[in-house]
Structure 1
Amino acid sequence: MPEVRSPTPLYHRIYAVMRERIVKGYYPSDAPVPSEAELAESFSVSRITIRKAMEMLTAEGLVTRTRGRGTYITDRTKENKLNRVVVSNINSLFSYLNAVGKSTRLKVVSLDVGEAPPRICEQMGVLPTTELVRAVRVRSLDRRPYSLSTAYLLPEIGETLNRQDLATTNMIDLVQKAGAVVEKVEQTLTATLADDYAAKHLEIPIGAPLMLVNRLFFNSELKPFYAAEIFYRADRYEYRVSLKREDGKDFSLGN
């Protein structure tokens, strides 16, 4: 069979492989990366191709290149601390959000009122023509984008928001300050790819992998009042769950 040629440039394919190795911990944090000559030999390509791939990794903040010292994996210790948080109930979720807030910085992209996407209206149980308050923000960790979030809120809750508070305070604190009581939270996690909007604000290539976290907050009457869509850079975010057997809850599968 004739060889199938990939439309993706060779350097980008090598970048994708190296990126996966770094994200998965193939190279320890703050450890040196093999030299361009070693990588060129390993991948059977030219050093120019390797150099282009390394430039992409550098631009993404995954490696740090220093003259006379070489190329090193960027230390992700602070990110790992956030990743270790286990969320099992509303209190632990709020504790996690508080920890994220203390470790990151916020930038407000927009704050407006208008019709929300159909999927959001369906989740919140409102008509497609309902106008919701929408707030878009970017969180940065160590001066690099960490997440892009969009919050959709019912007007009676969202009308109290302003850009100054949004730049300094967690959304969950703001909605509770506005009088909302959070009785229940539903959360889903999905793998997705960056479109041009997410790529621009998260400073990653279009098509880069993202983790999408969707949270739906219910009030004391168990009615949705706030929906959040949060895109996390896959190289900077990891979600962990710890499962424990409950006493007296053993079961066996049927034959």
Structure 2
Amino acid sequence: MSERNSPTPLYHRIYSVLRERIVNGYYRAGVAMPSEAELAASFNVSRITIRKAMEILTAESLVTRTRGRGTFVSEQASDNNFNRAVVADVQGLLNYLNAVGQSTKLKVVSLDKGIAPPRISAQLGISPTSELVRAVRVREMQRMPYSLSIAYLLPQIGDSIKRQDLTSITMIDLVQRAGADVEHVEQVMTATLADEIAAEHLEIPVGAPLMRVNRLFFNKQAVPFYAAEIFYRADRYEYRLSLRREPGKDFLLQNS
């Protein structure tokens, strides 16, 4: 891993990965975590970098460190409702993407290589002049445009993707076939308006409302390798979330 060209310090990226593992139960409460030396070798960084990441986890009471014994996930980590509420299962997202792929049809607009928009370069932690592989596709449902997706991939992943594959295989399957491991995904959803490009491909007027979903995919070394922007027609897309009360948990009302 390298801090070069990344907007986020290396130790903080490693902290984020370790925090996700703790919250998701990858490291169980009361069980010793890998040593600093083992983590340093796994992430290919210095022990000082690992130590700084562990200091943040300790400050958040997610781990306890004992000289001579090691670092252990705290019992409090498994009971932290806030942490659990903001973390979702990556596999759940992958299952959703596969389900969407099976119920829609893909049309390839382009597959090329070039300089990405500055916001994408910043997300991927690369130089603004670095070239990325870009794939643009329109997804159709019942013979009508449903979404416009723009994928930006690091060349070591994207160079192996063929145009003919893009018509029938989901991008997440293609990147995994190219050797990428999806360990962590960050997703942001925002409302936006259609520009002339989105309007053309989605067959809507310029300025029509859209839902934009930005996804950033990280590998096991906490390095982002794939950024996706998906624009959904507001009249054809619905985001539904089912929330359940945890057994034995009640809502607490507080005066303010």
SS at match of 1:197: helix
- TM-score, normalised by the number of residues in structure 1: 0.63
In structure 1, the gaps of 5 or more residues are 1-86
1:34-183 matches, cutoff 5 A = 88-183=88-183
CA distance in structure 1 between the partners assigned to 2:246 and 2:153 by the alignment: 37
What are structure 2's unaligned runs of at least 5 residues? 1-86
Q: CA deviation at 1:222?
A: 1.1
Report Cα offsets for 1:175-234 as digits up to 9, x if no partner: 000000000111111111111100000011111110001100000111110000000000
SS in 1 for 2:107: strand
State the alpha-carbon separation in 2 of the partners of residues 108 and 192 from structure 1: 23
Aligned residues: 169
Q: Over the residues paired in the alignment, what is the CA RMSD in angstroms?
A: 1.7
1:244 CA drift (Å):
2.3
How much does 1:108 deviate? 0.7
> In the TM superposition, what whole-angstrom CA distance separates every residue of 1:76-115 from its partner, at most 9, and x where no partner exists?
xxxxxxxxxxx94211111111111111111111111111
Larger radius of gyration: 1
Partner of 1:188: 188
- Percent of paired sites with the same residue: 69
How far did residue 160 of structure 1 move?
0.4
Counterpart-to-counterpart distance in 2, 1:254 and 1:121: 45
One-letter code aligned to 1:152:
Y
Q: Using the TM superposition, give the Cα deviation of residue 250 of structure 1 relative to its aligned residue in structure 2, in angstroms.
A: 5.6
Aligned residue identity for 1:246: E
Residue type at the aligned position of 1:181: D
Paired letter, 2:96: Y
Q: Note closer, same or farther for the CA distance 1:211–1:113 as it changes in structure 2 (3 Å cut).
A: same
Q: Which amino acid aligns with 1:219?
A: N
> What letter is aligned with 1:97?
L
| Partner residue in 1 for 2:216 | 216
Kindly state the Cα deviation for residue 163 of structure 1 after the two structures are TM-superposed: 0.5
Q: What SS does the aligned partner of 1:133 have?
A: strand
